[in-house]
Amino acid sequence: MKLSIIIPTYNEDKTIMEIMSRVLEAPLGDGVQREVIVVDDGSVDSTNELMKTFEGSREVFY
C-alpha cells in the first residue's frame, strides 16, 4: 500500500523542515510505502531553497 501525504506551502521557511522531519520520521506499518508531495503556491521566502535539500529523494516530490 502507498500512503500519499500532500503538503501545501506558502512562505513556510520557518516551519517546513520541522514538518518534513516529522512526516518522514513517522513510523509506518508493514508493507506501507510513503510518498510526500509538497505543493508550493509561489513562496517568496526561502521555502524553495530548503526543499531543494530533498532533491533525489525517492519519497519526496516537490
Mean pLDDT (10-residue bins), the chain, 62 residues? 97 98 97 97 98 95 96
Q: Quick one: pLDDT at residue 35?
A: 98
Percent helix, percent strand, percent coil in the chain, to nearest 5: 30, 30, 40
Tell me what pLDDT residue 48 has.
97
CA torsion sign for 10, 24, 21, 52 is: negative
pLDDT value for 24: 97
For the chain, the structural domain boundaries read 2-61
Q: What is the pTM of this model?
A: 0.89
